[in-house]
Structure 1
């Protein structure tokens, strides 16, 4: 059982009061009683000497009983005259008849002591009068004079003192209870409230405040605790906001972040790491080896946890993604590595871009090398003497001119593609897409007629917001491809309509079509389905790439559907 502060104070006060009462009771019962008995004894000694002198001088001629009665009245004590042989000769408390019946007093201790030493003292219970007396006996010439006084007065005095002591104890106990109640109101109750409030603060309720009451010191303690709670609340708020900011920053990172504990198990991840690793599993508690199935990342993590420097490792996932994992140690205040942070960078697009750049350089070099080689060969032949042959020279010059025109077209297309890819904003204006289609068909009437290709136009007239130059360029390249790869006497069908907030333009040809495995690469630079035919026709291999970038730079899309032997359909969708 646990007592509160005021209860313990009251209990201890009561214990102290009880000890003090016991001590005082002992002093009253023994020490004070002994002092009073000693004083009475001294008084009786003095009175016994006077009594003997009185008996010797004024008691001659009278009986000892009469003298005893007279001395008893004068001294207000019991006076007994005892013969040396122990017979009672007179007693102030007994009559003559009673005296004769009193037993012999020779065995009384005070009488024996008086016979031996001249004076004897004893405190004992008197059977004759049934009271406790203090006896002082003095030996005279032929008798012993004994004075006695009852101790009942002393007992009454001690009892009265004990009663007063009991009353004092009760008063002290009552004052102690009142003191305990005051302590409860001024100290214990406020302290109890503070303890309850402190437990709430310890449990995390930092908004709770202590009531300010009690003495100045208690109130100061309450104010200190409230100030501490406010500071803790502010600090916790700062920590919480800092943690939230950190989580938002880490969560907003496009790179995957993974934090490992000292055992090498995942303790924290951000949202991007699941996208980077292409998994929906809960990664917390697992090891990188369990997640990635790549021993090299596990070895790097172990080295870094062992105190090694930060390392970088490049991985390829099962889906073909290329990841760069930067593994860095996290040291605590004692500079001991107890965590590891892994940041995953997706290098797939970078590596693809690098590959495309290498391919582009190789393709451009190849595209330039072929006509340049031809030009140089014909030029060297002309310089070697072919100029003297007019017909041959004329053919060589025309070949040089044709290759130069091809180079010019190639450079022009490269510049056009570079301008579009420079992400310059499209200059939009209101254009009628049907007029653009008609213009592109009109300027190709002679080519269409020469190849016997029929054009069917079903494009509705619609005004849209678009970049006229880029839209005309895209349509022009698609119509050129439809003519170039169509069969003689074939057909081109152009349809256009509004659909779901956009204008859709379909250009269909009746050419040989494109194999399914070629469709995904059809918009790449320098990619040709029929390379020989494309070069013969003067194509640069950049037309469809220009179409793609010209339409996408305006927020549109381009797609193709084709079946080998059944022609192709290119579809443009441009926002209205």
Structure 2
């Protein structure tokens, strides 16, 4: 119970008690006035009888009245008190007052006849003396009234306080996002308007929370699907927001709860950028490599709310690893092309110079050197052709037509007849004669030719080449298997890279350019298919090409 209510209850009780005593005093005053009028009337009767003792005595006895006449020296207590009263207040004549006689209050009416003062005495009338039942009833009613008022106030206090507490609790529930507790209110309740306002507030807050939840979900989806890493730090260097891309770049999943960014950022250069941003409130930008993932990132650290006490820092990391790899691949490609072109050009230039210096006069040497120059120029031409095939895609339309797979394979094998005979290879083709494929003939021919070249040149003497073609409901499966040197497991992931050779010395000896399998990979992708391999070192290699049977349009454009 609050101190305010206690004060109100105390003042209400004091007011009620004061009112009760005022009522009691008023009734007592009325009795006093009535008794004074009664004593005055008795005095008039006394005058009418002219003070005859025989006649006045019954009157006094019936009314419990004593008459005192001041003549000479007073002989009793009442006379003494009346004499003192008259001496003190000569104007008391014709009025009543209360004096104490022998410990009891008596009301006296003072009259004057010439120089003689007469006092008419009677015991002071009170509610308890005149109407004791009424007096006790009045006291009981007063006490019960006081208790009733206190009970009503306490009940009213609990009613008001209970409703206020419930409404306060409901406001707290609404603020916390909970459901308010229902309150039953009568139509005339003083809380009806407030209850309606709380219900309206609850409805509005639900609507706003739904909108915020939708926007937050959209924002979270947007942040999570951004290709760059996002991390937001507050003024206490705590992580308040991070997306999945940031977790990928730092190498672990970032906790959703607030925590120090040092738990996630282990790269010193990035942490230093963040600290400089906090100290200087300036944006920093730099390209660096993440410690845990070794990913190259373009990092931007941006200061938000600059000039305020709530500085925030936004960290954005853009993964440029693929771009740097492409750049490196381009540099490697240029270097490889330069190296590959330099070898035949150097050979042609050197043997031509030797011939010009006199070797042409020796017919045997002349024929040998001219053959070498021819072989190197052929290899140079093939190298340039392969480079152009990979580096310059067709700009026009290539017509997709139906080709017989067996004929394409046989045509490619005719060009390999000489190396096949030199290595004494066994050929096995398992291809139905009526098997056809709707594709771009030139590209499909390049795929077949390069796979067969690879199977022949890297095969062992007396080995075997097996070419198989089958179909299912959607695709053609072309398999080229050999019993050659095989490919180590750590080389298989790079076998389709340009200029990558498993056996570099042997590849150059066989006239290979290192681009055959790269051409196969690019051509298969352009035709909408896939290529895979299985190999065991020293046992052999099998390449499997999967091409769609009817997905290509009549005219296929690269």
Please confirm whether the aligned pair reaches a TM-score higher than 0.5, indicating the same fold: yes
Between the two proteins, the alignment pairs up a number of residues equal to 542
Q: d(CA) in 2 for partners of 1:272 and 1:547?
A: 34
Q: Aligned residue for 2:288? A: 314
SS for the counterpart of 1:152 is coil
Q: CA deviation at 1:306?
A: 1.9
Which one of the candidate residues 419, 423, 429 is aligned to 1:457? Answer: 429
Q: Retained in 2: the 8 A contact 1:106–1:112?
A: no
Name 2:513's counterpart in structure 1: 540
Structure 1 residues 66-215: aligned runs within 5 Å = 66=54, 68-69=56-57, 78-79=66-67, 84=72, 86=74, 104=76, 108-111=80-83, 123-124=98-99, 132-136=106-110, 138=112, 145-152=118-125, 194-206=167-179, 213-215=186-188
Q: Out of 464-473 and 493-502, give the one that drifted further.
A: 493-502
Alpha-carbon distance between aligned partners in 2 of 1:279 and 1:426, rounded to the nearest angstrom: 47
TM-score, length of structure 2 as denominator length? 0.73
* C-alpha distance in 2 between matches for 1:379 and 1:433: 43
Distance in 2 (alpha carbons) for counterparts of 1:184 and 1:321: 70
1:11-66, Cα deviation, whole Å (9 max, x unpaired): 8655532332233334444x55665666667x47x947x956974xxx7xxxx523
Partner of 1:325: 299
| Alpha-carbon separation, structure 1, partners of 2:221 and 2:289 | 27
Among candidates 498, 505, 518, match of residue 525 of structure 1: 498
**Which of 56, 65, 81 is the matching residue for 2:53?**
65
Structure 2 CA distance for partners of 1:287 and 1:438, relative to 1, 3 Å: farther
User: Counterparts of 1:284 and 1:133 in 2: how far apart (Å)?
Assistant: 91
**Structure 1 position 23 matched with structure 2 position 22:** yes
Answer whether contact 2:250 2:292 (CA < 8 A) is retained. no
Choose 339-348 or 172-181, whichever is displaced more: 172-181
Shift of 1:356: 0.4
Measure the CA separation in 1 of the matches of 2:501 and 2:83. 155
Match of residue 241, structure 1, among 206, 214, 228: 214
Choose from 429, 441, 444 the match for 2:413. Answer: 441
The answer to whether structure 1 residue 561 and structure 2 residue 549 are counterparts is no
Give CA deviations for 1:48-89 in whole Å, capped at 9, x if unaligned: 7x956974xxx7xxxx523644986999965455763556xx
For structure 1, the 5+ residue unaligned runs are 88-103
SS of the aligned residue for 2:231 comes to strand
Q: Secondary structure at the match of 1:325?
A: strand
Q: Deviations over 1:440-485 (max 9, x none)?
A: 3355445534553321234578968774544432221011122233
Is the CA contact (8 Å cut-off) linking 2:266 and 2:292 kept in structure 1?
Answer: no
Secondary structure in 2 matching 1:559: strand
Shift of 1:314: 0.5
Q: Is 1:518–1:529's contact at 8 Å kept on the other side of the alignment?
A: yes
Matched residue of 2:303: which SS? Answer: strand
Contact 1:297/1:313, CA 8 A, preserved across alignment? no
Deviation at residue 543 of structure 1 after TM alignment: 0.7
Is residue 371–residue 404 contact of structure 1 (8 Å, CA) maintained in 2? yes
Higher CA-based Rg: 1
* 8 Å CA contact retained: 1:109, 1:122: no
Whole-Å separation in 2 of the counterparts to 1:76 and 1:490: 159
**Compared CA separation, residues 341 and 154, structure 1 to 2 (3 A):** closer
- Matched with 1:351 is 324
Among 397, 414, 429, which residue is 2:387 paired with?
A: 414
Does the Cα contact within 8 Å between 1:304 and 1:329 map onto a contact in 2?
yes
**Kept in 2: contact 1:258–1:270 (CA 8 A):** yes
Q: 1: CA distance between counterparts of 2:3 and 2:405?
A: 95
DSSP-derived class of the 2:237 partner: coil
Give the corresponding residue for 1:101: none
Asked if 1:296 corresponds to 2:284, the answer is no
How far does residue 291 in structure 1 lie from its aligned partner after superposition? 4.4
Pair 1:329–1:462, CA change in 2 (3 A):
farther
Q: Is the 1:307–1:337 contact (alpha carbons within 8 Å) kept by the matching residues of 2?
A: no
Residue 227 of structure 2 is aligned to residue 228 of structure 1:
no
Deviations, residues 71-114 of structure 1 (Å, cap 9, x unaligned): 86999965455763556xxxxxxxxxxxxxxxx56853115656
- Root-mean-square deviation (CA, aligned residues, Å) is 5.4
- How far the C-alpha of 1:360 sits from its partner, in A, is 1.1
Relative to structure 1, the CA distance from residue 228 to residue 363 in structure 2 (aligned partners, 3 Å threshold; closer, same or farther) is same
Is 2:261 aligned against 1:262? Answer: no
How far apart are the structure 2 equivalents of 1:394 and 1:210?
112
Verify the 8 A CA contact 1:210 1:226 in the aligned structure 2: no
Assess if the C-alpha contact under 8 Å between 1:28 and 1:162 holds in 2. Answer: no
Structure 1 stretch displaced more, 189-198 or 448-457: 189-198
Q: Distance in 2 between matches of 1:425 and 1:326?
A: 44
Q: Which moved more, 1:167-176 or 1:518-527?
A: 167-176
The whole-number CA distance in structure 2 between the counterparts of 1:254 and 1:297 is: 19
> Relative to 1, partners in 2 of residues 1:116 and 1:555: Cα closer, same or farther, differing over 3 Å?
closer
Contact 1:512 1:567 in 2 (8 A): yes
SS at match of 2:390: helix
Is 1:491 paired with 2:464? yes
TM-score, L = length of structure 1:
0.72
1:71–1:173 distance in 2 versus 1, CA, 3 Å? closer
In the alignment, does 2:248 pair up with 1:275? yes
Please report how far the alpha carbon of residue 237 of structure 1 lies from its aligned counterpart in structure 2 after TM superposition: 1.8
Residues 289-314 of structure 1 show CA distances to partners (whole Å, capped at 9, x for unaligned) of 55454332222221112243222350
